[in-house]
Amino acid sequence: MADVERTLFLIKPDAVERRLVGEIIARFERRGFDLRGLKLVRVREQQAAEHYVEHVGKPFYPELVEFITSGPVVAMVIEGLGAVAAVRSMMGATNPLDSAPGTIRGDYALDLGRNVVHGSDSPESAAREIAIFFTDAELTG
């Protein structure tokens, strides 16, 4: 049996602008996950740098930070059995051209740099990333 896990999930500025927030959150609720944190935020440059620290120095890094700070983002903590891997599989592959239909990226995106959502890639990343976006007092549960 999988463990109950928490993962950090972001609905990126492109999806907020396209009014996809409700549809995306509904998928996780229907699947049976619980929301433990939820807010609309404008990501600050410093937060973006912490969040994407593994990508510092890559050619696409400046564009990545510029994009995630370009408009409001919905930040969520999703909790449930095997949440880290299950949320990643519901997101689809990083490049939307490789994302299976039925996944979030496979249904809503084409552009690698505008791929609609972020989800933590391991329980360790989840703990680190949740702390960038939420205080303990903001997480219910």
Q: Please give the span between the terminal C-alpha atoms of the chain, in angstroms, as a whole number.
A: 21
The least CB distance from residue 121 to ligand IDP, in Å, is: 5
Binding flag, residue 121, ligand IDP (CB under 6 A) = yes
| 55 in active site | no
Distance, CA of 84 to CA of 94 (rounded, Å): 15
Listed ranges 20-28, 41-49, 77-85, 114-122: which one lies at the site for ligand IDP (CB under 6 A): 114-122
To Mg ion, the closest distance from the beta carbon of 55 in angstroms equals: 8
Nearer to ligand IDP, 85 or 112 (CB): 112
Cβ pair 72, 16 in contact under 8 A: yes
Kindly state the DSSP code that residue 18 receives in the 8-state scheme: T
Q: Which phi-psi region, left, alpha or beta, contains residue 140 (left: φ > 0; alpha: ψ -120 to 50)?
A: beta
Looking at the Cβ atoms of 25 and 87, the one nearer to ligand IDP is 87
Strand bridging mode 34-41 / 117-119? unpaired
Q: How far is the CB of 68 from ligand IDP (least distance, A)?
A: 9
- Contact segment (CB under 6 A) with ligand IDP among 14-22, 26-34, 75-83, 111-119 equals 111-119
Residues that bind Mg ion (CB under 5 A): 121
Q: Which of 79, 118, 126, 133 is catalytic?
A: 118
For the four alpha carbons of 16, 78, 48 and 116, in that order, the dihedral sign comes to negative
Q: What is the helix (H) or strand (E) element at residue 78, kind and residue range?
A: strand 73-81
56 is an interface residue for ligand IDP by CB under 6 A: no
| Active site members | 118
